């Protein structure tokens, strides 16, 4: 039954009163109810609702697809991108209802609202389609990550096409709009040359992808980590925690270093000059030991040293080493340079002054002799506190002190390593060290303590790792220096052996007490009874009869 028929029936029903409707029936009730409605308003609403039907049908299909996507991929990161299309869909429904109501009062306003609602629906469909194509089809299934700027361009272009289609459906003359837009585009193109240049450069960067967010890069004088890439500029954060914004056209015109891609492995170098008297092999070995002792320096590939130049006053070497932690490159380089000084000091090497510098000093022989005596007295005093050397007399300690070397270590360096061969022991004159067994810290030693005596006396491998926890000065007693003492006094061997046996038993009991909490010493005594005496082992190690 058409709207006109219903209206005519309503008028007839109204004119004939209840008698025309007859007895109470469905039709009479319908006539009675319909007669009360504003017929003209309903007619206008229903007549104007017809143009909304295609949009409503499209919205229904769209929302069904949107629900399916959100259910299937609710656990995926890109699921959050579907929220905006959902909000736009509900906005479209609100605008559609407002348009339907406005039809009765302002047809022109309803037409405008209808166009806006179609634009909102089109934007929702375009955004949902972008998620489907770029995130689901390409990203999830094809494992292809499309550049953000390319995605934005596609969305903008498609949305412009949608807007033009909506305008065309509303009877707008597109030819005049296109003509006007061409003139406006020409004017804006001249006024915004630099901005457009940056935008085009941004598109090129996104397509070529010479770097990505998170990479450490250097543009001309600026070095830092990439925080953001957008249409106009690239934002980086420097090592000083400053934010630098670089226009994309500047990025594409200047050279660039990428310290992260294709690999985070990065080579660094330090140059140093050593005296001509130092053999190159010895110099290279010292520099390599210093580099390999630093945490953060790669073992694979290994560091290497090149002899670069014979200068006026020194031979210049260049130490090359590799790192993967680029943000901490300055700290690692500082550690390597510091370790070089300590390693050269222990090896008796030094960096020469330029021969053009003239240093004049008045050397007083008596003052120099006094300095040597004072240094010797310090070593003798340290030897007096070593329990297993109590059998030595004063002259023997002084002779031993003459053959002792001084060595400096900095915090973090390993003085001896568990399992290594050794034939020396150390007296800690300054600083503190940790004792590590199996990588676990078991004790801490301060100045006045000593370690490594069993390797000196018997040549056995190191039983623990000793690592410096601060700057340390150590007196190093070597096998050759000690051999001159016991060769001249054979009775010392047995006395030293007895002292060492006592010290070893004490250390064993301490270790057992720490491990079991009992420390009764029975296991130590039993095992010691079946071992070769330390005196015999000392004689065999030093080739004594």
The predicted-structure confidence for 416-446, as pLDDT tens digits, reads as follows 999 998 888 899 999 999 999 888 998 899 9
461: domain range?
371-541
Domain assignment present for residue 406? The answer is yes
Contacts of 425 (CB under 8 A, 6+ apart): 450, 451, 452, 453, 455, 456, 476, 477
> Above pLDDT 70, what percent of the chain?
77
Domain assignment present for residue 199? The answer is no
Pick from 170-174, 399-403, 519-523 the range whose average pLDDT is largest. 399-403
The three-state secondary structure class of 226 is strand
Q: How confident is the model at residue 543 (pLDDT cuts 50, 70, 90)?
A: confident
Same domain, 317 and 382: no
Q: How confident is the model at residue 511 (pLDDT cuts 50, 70, 90)?
A: low
Q: Which of 308, 330, 346 is the last residue of a domain?
A: 346
Q: Which of 258, 293, 316 is the last residue of a domain?
A: 258
Same domain, 379 and 406: yes
Same domain, 179 and 325: no
CATH of the domain at 444: 2.60.120.10
User: Which pLDDT does position 455 carry in this prediction?
Assistant: 87
pLDDT per residue as tens digits for the range 238-252: 988 899 988 888 888
Domain assignment present for residue 502? The answer is yes
Residue 276, preceding peptide bond in cis (omega within 30° of 0): no
User: Which pLDDT does position 6 carry in this prediction?
Assistant: 43
Same domain, 162 and 270: no
Same domain, 384 and 512: yes
Same domain, 3 and 107: no
Q: Are 516 and 457 in contact (CB under 8 A)?
A: no
How large is the average pLDDT for residues 56-65?
A: 77
Domain assignment present for residue 355? The answer is no
Listed in sequence order, the DSSP H helices in 388-463 are 394-402, 453-458
Domain assignment present for residue 200? The answer is no
Q: Are 247 and 236 in contact (CB under 8 A)?
A: no
11 against 369, higher pLDDT: 369
Domain assignment present for residue 32? The answer is yes
Average pLDDT, the chain: 78
- Split into its structural domains, the chain has a count of 5
Same domain, 46 and 169: yes
Whether the predicted pLDDT of 331 surpasses 90: yes
Q: Are 336 and 291 in contact (CB under 8 A)?
A: yes
How large is the average pLDDT for residues 452-469?
A: 89
Q: How confident is the model at residue 188 (pLDDT cuts 50, 70, 90)?
A: low
CATH of the domain at 294: 3.30.70.100
Same domain, 101 and 129: yes
Nearest to 416 by CA among 408, 406, 426: 426
Same domain, 318 and 331: yes
Whether the predicted pLDDT of 48 surpasses 60: no
Enter the tokens of residue 150. Answer: 């390319």
Q: How confident is the model at residue 17 (pLDDT cuts 50, 70, 90)?
A: very low
CATH of the domain at 254: 2.30.30.60
User: Which pLDDT does position 208 carry in this prediction?
Assistant: 75
Q: Are 450 and 495 in contact (CB under 8 A)?
A: no
114 against 411, higher pLDDT: 411
User: Which pLDDT does position 299 carry in this prediction?
Assistant: 93
Lowest-confidence region among 10-24, 336-350, 447-461, 479-493: 10-24
Same domain, 138 and 4: no
User: Which pLDDT does position 537 carry in this prediction?
Assistant: 82
How large is the average pLDDT for residues 90-97?
A: 84
Same domain, 405 and 309: no
151 against 48, higher pLDDT: 151
Domain assignment present for residue 111? The answer is yes
Q: How confident is the model at residue 46 (pLDDT cuts 50, 70, 90)?
A: low
User: Which pLDDT does position 526 carry in this prediction?
Assistant: 37
DSSP 8-class letter at 313: S
User: Which pLDDT does position 184 carry in this prediction?
Assistant: 56
Pick from 101-110, 386-395, 533-542 the range whose average pLDDT is largest. 386-395
pLDDT per residue as tens digits for the range 119-140: 888 888 888 888 888 888 887 7
> Secondary structure of 150-205 in the HEC alphabet?
HHHHHHHHHHHHHHHHHHHHCCCCHHHHHHHHHHHHHHHHHHCHHHHHHHHHHHHH
How large is the average pLDDT for residues 227-233?
A: 82
Q: Distances from the Cα of 276 to the Cαs of 113, 310, 318, 339, in angstroms?
A: 89, 9, 15, 21
63 against 6, higher pLDDT: 63
Q: Which of 330, 346, 362 is the last residue of a domain?
A: 346
Domain assignment present for residue 365? The answer is no
pLDDT per residue as tens digits for the range 270-308: 999 999 999 999 999 999 999 999 999 999 999 999 999
Same domain, 452 and 501: yes
């Amino acid at each position: 039954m058409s709207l006109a028929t219903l209206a005519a029936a309503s008028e007839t029903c109204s004119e004939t009163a209840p008698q025309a409707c007859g007895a109470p029936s469905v039709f009479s009730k319908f006539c009675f109810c319909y007669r009360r409605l504003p017929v003209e308003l309903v007619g206008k609403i229903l007549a104007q609702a017809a143009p909304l039907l295609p949009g409503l049908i499209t919205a229904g299909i769209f929302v069904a697809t949107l629900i399916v996507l959100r259910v299937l991929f609710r656990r995926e990161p890109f699921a959050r991108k579907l929220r905006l299309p959902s909000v736009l869909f509900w906005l479209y429904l609100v605008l559609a209802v407002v348009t339907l109501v406005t039809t009765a009062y302002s047809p022109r306003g309803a037409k405008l609202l209808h166009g806006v609602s179609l634009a909102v629906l089109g934007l929702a469909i375009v955004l949902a389609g972008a998620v489907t194509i770029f995130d689901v089809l390409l990203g999830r299934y094809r494992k292809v990550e499309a550049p953000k700027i390319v995605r934005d361009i596609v969305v903008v272009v498609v949305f412009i096409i949608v807007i033009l289609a909506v305008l065309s459906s509303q009877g707008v003359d597109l030819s005049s709009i296109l003509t006007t837009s061409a003139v406006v585009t020409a004017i804006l193109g001249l006024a915004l040359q630099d901005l457009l240049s940056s935008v085009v450069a941004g598109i090129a960067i996104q397509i070529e992808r010479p770097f990505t967010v998170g990479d450490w890069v250097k543009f001309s004088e600026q070095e830092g980590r990439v925080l953001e890439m957008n249409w106009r500029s690239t934002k980086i954060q420097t090592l000083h925690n400053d934010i630098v914004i670089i226009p994309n056209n500047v990025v594409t015109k200047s050279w660039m270093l990428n310290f992260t891609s294709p690999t985070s492995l990065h080579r660094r170098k330090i140059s140093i000059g050593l005296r001509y008297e130092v053999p190159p092999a010895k110099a290279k070995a010292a520099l390599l030991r210093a580099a390999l002792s630093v945490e953060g320096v790669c073992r694979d590939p290994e560091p290497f040293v090149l002899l670069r130049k014979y200068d006026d006053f020194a031979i210049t070497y260049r130490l090359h080493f590799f790192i993967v932690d680029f943000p901490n490159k300055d700290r690692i380089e500082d550690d390597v340079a510091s370790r070089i000084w300590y390693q050269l000091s222990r090896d008796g090497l030094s960096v020469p002054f330029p021969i053009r510098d003239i240093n004049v000093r008045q050397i007083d022989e008596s003052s120099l002799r006094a300095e040597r005596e004072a240094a010797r007295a310090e070593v003798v005093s340290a030897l007096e506190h070593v329990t297993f050397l109590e059998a030595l007399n004063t002259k023997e300690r002084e002779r031993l002190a003459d053959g002792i070397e001084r060595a400096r270590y900095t915090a973090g360096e390993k003085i001896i390593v568990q399992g290594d061969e050794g034939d020396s022991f150390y007296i800690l004159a300054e600083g503190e060290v940790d004792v590590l067994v199996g990588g676990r810290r078991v004790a801490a030693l301060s100045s006045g303590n000593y370690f490594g005596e069993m390797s000196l006396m018997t040549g056995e491998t190191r039983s623990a790792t000793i690592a410096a926890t601060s700057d340390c000065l150590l007196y190093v007693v070597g096998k050759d220096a000690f051999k001159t003492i016991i060769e001249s006094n054979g009775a010392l061997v047995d006395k030293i052996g007895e002292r060492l046996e006592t010290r070893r038993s004490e250390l064993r009991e301490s270790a057992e007490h720490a491990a079991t909490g009992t420390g009764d010493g029975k296991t130590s005594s039993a095992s010691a009874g079946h071992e070769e005496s330390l005196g015999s082992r000392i004689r065999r190690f030093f080739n004594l009869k």
